[in-house]
């Protein structure tokens, strides 16, 4: 079951510059930000908590990362919407039964969450991510 919007992700060329902008917009303190690297995705991410959801800023660590390719094509901007689920495997099966296919198998993402993306060609050009917290 989908529980809530976990985060909205924005691809950025420069994480520090984007963090300053977003912290100013949101009026939040530096300690409200959590930064980590996700080696499997070749990105550095910053999470800014906004109520029950987060804004995630994504900076590529390699020209080979999907975020670097996105930025080269589109520039800085909205990348995906992540939805929190309590059962990513069943949600993935449910969507496959509706001919909405994931981009690969569920894997570990930022914060140790289990994640899977849905193909934007099947979701009105919106990249969706399903995220399940570690148990």
Q: What is the pLDDT of residues 67-92, one digit of tens each?
A: 999 999 999 999 999 999 999 999 99
Average pLDDT taken over every residue of the chain: 94
Range of the domain at 48: 2-132
Cβ atoms within 10 Å of 30's Cβ, excluding its own: 7
Q: Identify the helix (H) or strand (E) that includes residue 116.
A: strand 114-118
Position 31 confidence tier, pLDDT thresholds 50, 70, 90: confident
**Torsion angle in degrees (nearest 10) through CA of 101, 106, 111, 112:** 170
| pLDDT the model gives residue 72 | 97
Contacts (Cβ under 8 Å, ≥6 apart) of 105: 116
CA distance 49 to 57: 12
Tokens of 41: 């995705």
| pLDDT the model gives residue 45 | 97
CATH code (residue 22): 3.10.180.10
Measure the N-to-C terminal CA separation of the chain; round to a whole number of Å.
16
Q: Model's pTM, two decimal places?
A: 0.90
Q: What is the pLDDT of residues 2-14, one digit of tens each?
A: 999 999 999 999 9
DSSP H helices, the chain, are: 15-26, 66-74, 88-97
Q: Nearest CA to 106 among 123, 130, 84, 83?
A: 130
Q: Is the pLDDT of residue 40 over 90?
A: no
Number of independent structural domains in the chain: 1
Query: Percent of the chain, pLDDT > 90?
Result: 81
| pLDDT the model gives residue 94 | 94
């Amino acid at each position: 079951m989908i529980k809530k919007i976990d985060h909205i992700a924005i691809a950025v060329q420069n994480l520090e510059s984007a963090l300053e902008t977003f912290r100013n917009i949101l009026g939040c303190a530096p300690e409200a930000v959590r930064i980590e690297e996700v080696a499997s995705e070749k990105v550095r991410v910053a999470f800014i908590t906004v109520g029950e959801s987060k804004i995630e800023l994504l900076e590529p660590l390699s020209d080979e990362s999907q975020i670097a390719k996105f930025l080269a094509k589109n520039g800085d901007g909205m990348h995906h919407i992540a939805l929190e689920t309590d059962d990513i495997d069943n949600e993935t099966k449910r969507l496959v039964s509706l001919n909405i296919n994931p981009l690969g198998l569920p894997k570990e993402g930022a914060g140790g969450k289990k994640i899977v993306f849905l193909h934007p060609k099947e979701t009105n050009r919106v990249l969706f991510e399903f995220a399940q917290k570690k148990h």
